[in-house]
């Protein structure tokens, strides 16, 4: 099949864009962009009970969030429309009538049914799985001995999936059908219809299943499945893109964290792994953290800000210079944008610190020790984290204390957390005036 590569993503608008659908869309998008071809969005909305315009919009919004742009579709048009199946009923009826006229199909009431012939080779070559043998005789019901003929048009006038997809893919000049492994069983029936209509078949590439860690098919029990759930949890679209690309494929050189340009450059259908992929949250978190760390502050702040604001943290007066230093200090902390916001709130406000830590664990003896250290420390104002640490060590040695006796409570009083970046790096960023204000709150100064 020569000419321009044309691939499609054809979701049913019966729910939000889930991870499995996003994975299929991404692998199609990559092939189109790698080959300089076209990526088409087609809406398969013949399920009249469950399909809604709202779900269609949600699917498109999810794809836009992942930056999977399409060249043709219901909203942007194109030369091969309409791009909703409910707007293509005349086309399905036209070719059903052709098959009726040729004696290849028959009517049963208002339904049109294709009569499956015996002894036909309906095997096909798969770009991932190789050649798959199949004979039309396999469609005979083993229990009754009756051939399972293929319904084309149901009695309600709407096409079945296996019929409509053949008509659409042919008329839209789709060159490669890239979809989930669960569609392999549908393909022989579609091959039959291509042969019946005398049409050239597209190339098929079936993608490996995505499994949960328990090696069962991915479902809601394995965690969030809608792409919007990941957005709301603080994952970046580039991270989800990166992670999904690795479910069945990988660039050369064992690279795990990469951008779209590298994926588009190196992606090849024949490099797709046949083995099922495991959806591993630890791997996703690792990738997301890597992308967060590499992201410029000017891009990071607008993402962190909504999470801060939802926590009641006013970040409107922060300078870009301060943010640059704050995010540099937090580098490698927070697997998601949401976690980064939570782990860094003390760099923006003291209110959340006071809400987390009340100082009730400090004994009178410990308070006396801390008052002595903190009063001298704030008065001396060591210039940088190195001199602050040297001051603290010397003070503790002179007073028979251990460094942790002053560093740990200082960490709690300044951050509200047991774990944070180096506490003296935090002191340097907050400044001595703010440090003193927080220590006074706990009665230490």
- Indicate which residues carry an active-site annotation: 220
- Label the pairing between strands 124-126 and 130-132: antiparallel
Handedness of CA 376, 381, 385, 387 (dihedral sign): negative
C-alpha 32/C-alpha 35 separation (Å) is: 5
Tokens representing 11 are 């979701």
Maximum Cα–Cα distance for the chain, whole Å? 102
Backbone angles phi, psi at 55, to 5 degrees: -65, -40
C-alpha 383/C-alpha 428 separation (Å) is: 8
Backbone angles phi, psi at 189, to 5 degrees: -65, -40
Q: Which residues contact 95 (CB under 8 A, 6 or more apart)?
A: 167, 197
H helix intervals, 176-222: 187-197
C-alpha 248/C-alpha 238 separation (Å) is: 17
C-alpha 137/C-alpha 121 separation (Å) is: 9
């Amino acid at each position: 099949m020569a000419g321009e590569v044309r691939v499609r993503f054809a979701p049913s608008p019966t729910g939000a864009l889930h991870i499995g659908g996003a994975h299929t869309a991404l692998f199609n998008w990559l092939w189109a962009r790698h080959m300089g071809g076209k990526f088409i969005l087609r809406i398969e909305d013949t399920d009249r009970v469950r399909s809604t315009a709202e779900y269609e919009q949600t699917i498109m919004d999810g794809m836009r969030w992942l930056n999977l742009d399409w060249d043709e579709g219901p909203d942007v048009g194109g030369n091969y429309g309409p791009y909703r199946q409910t707007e293509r009923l005349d086309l399905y009826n036209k070719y059903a009538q052709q098959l009726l006229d040729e004696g290849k199909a028959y009517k049963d009431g208002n339904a049109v049914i294709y009569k499956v012939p015996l002894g036909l080779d309906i095997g096909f070559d798969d770009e991932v799985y190789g050649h798959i043998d199949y004979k039309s005789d396999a469609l005979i019901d083993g229990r009754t001995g009756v051939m399972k003929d293929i319904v084309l048009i149901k009695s309600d006038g709407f096409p079945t999936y296996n019929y409509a997809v053949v008509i659409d893919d042919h008329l839209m000049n789709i060159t490669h059908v890239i979809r989930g492994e669960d569609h392999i069983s549908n393909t022989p029936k579609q091959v039959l219809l291509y042969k019946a209509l005398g049409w050239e078949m597209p190339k098929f590439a079936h993608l490996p299943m995505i499994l949960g860690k328990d090696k069962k098919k991915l479902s809601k029990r394995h965690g969030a499945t809608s792409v919007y759930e990941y957005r709301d949890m603080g994952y970046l679209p580039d991270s989800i893109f990166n992670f999904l690309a690795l479910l069945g494929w990988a660039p050369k050189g064992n690279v795990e964290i990469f951008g779209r340009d590298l994926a588009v450059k190196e992606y090849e259908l024949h490099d797709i792994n046949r083995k099922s992929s495991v959806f591993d949250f630890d791997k996703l978190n690792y990738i997301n953290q890597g992308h967060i760390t590499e992201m410029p502050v000017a891009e990071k702040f607008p993402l962190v800000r909504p999470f801060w604001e939802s926590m009641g943290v006013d970040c409107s007066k922060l300078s870009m210079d301060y943010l640059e230093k704050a995010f540099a200090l937090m580098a490698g902390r927070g697997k998601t944008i949401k976690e980064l916001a939570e782990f860094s709130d003390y760099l923006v406000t003291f209110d959340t610190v006071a809400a987390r830590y009340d100082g009730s664990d400090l004994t009178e003896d410990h308070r006396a020790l801390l008052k002595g250290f903190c009063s001298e420390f704030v008065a001396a104002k060591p210039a940088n984290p190195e001199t602050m640490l040297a001051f603290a060590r010397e003070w503790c040695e002179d007073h028979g204390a251990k460094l942790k006796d002053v560093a740990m409570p200082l960490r709690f009083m300044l951050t509200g957390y047991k774990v944070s970046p180096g506490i003296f790096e935090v002191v340097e960023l907050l400044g001595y005036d703010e440090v003193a204000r927080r220590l006074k709150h706990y009665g230490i100064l």
